[in-house]
């Protein structure tokens, strides 16, 4: 992924909501750029350094699952496959934790 940077993406609703909680206005169709990626371990997955303006000096770190890659990008299919698997894994972990915390 690092070799394919920057990657243009769109925000998910969850990302937009999270940014608005921090007084940052992001629009649903706004193009964001992944400037860097980092692996945050099994619990964190792939993190992305995201910017929404070329002149921006700081970035936001978010999960790759919180952005939507544009379909024309060469890595789009691989990124979507990762996101699908990651979301399944997170659902399994949540289900496992719910069973362990019950009664």
Q: What is the mean pLDDT of residues 7-21?
A: 94
34: confidence class by pLDDT, cuts 50, 70, 90: very high
pLDDT of residue 98 exceeding 70:
no
Distance (Å) of CA 31 to CA 10, 42, 93:
5, 28, 31
Distance between CA 83 and CA 66 in Å, rounded?
9
- pTM of the entire structure? 0.79
Which of 15-19, 86-90, 94-98 shows the lowest per-residue confidence on average (mean pLDDT)? 94-98
Distance between CA 66 and CA 50 in Å, rounded?
11
Q: How does pLDDT run across 39-90, given as a tens digit for each residue?
A: 998 878 999 999 988 888 888 999 999 999 988 889 999 999 998 998 888 8
């Amino acid at each position: 992924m690092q070799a394919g940077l920057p990657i243009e993406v769109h925000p998910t609703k969850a990302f937009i909501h999270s940014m608005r909680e921090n007084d940052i206005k992001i629009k649903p169709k706004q193009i964001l750029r992944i400037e860097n990626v980092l692996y945050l371990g099994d619990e964190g997955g792939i993190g992305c350094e995201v910017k929404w303006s070329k002149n921006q000096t700081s970035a936001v770190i978010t999960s790759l699952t919180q952005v939507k890659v544009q379909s024309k990008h060469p890595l789009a299919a691989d990124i979507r496959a990762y996101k699908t698997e990651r979301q399944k894994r997170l659902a399994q972990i949540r289900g496992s934790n719910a069973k362990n915390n019950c009664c």
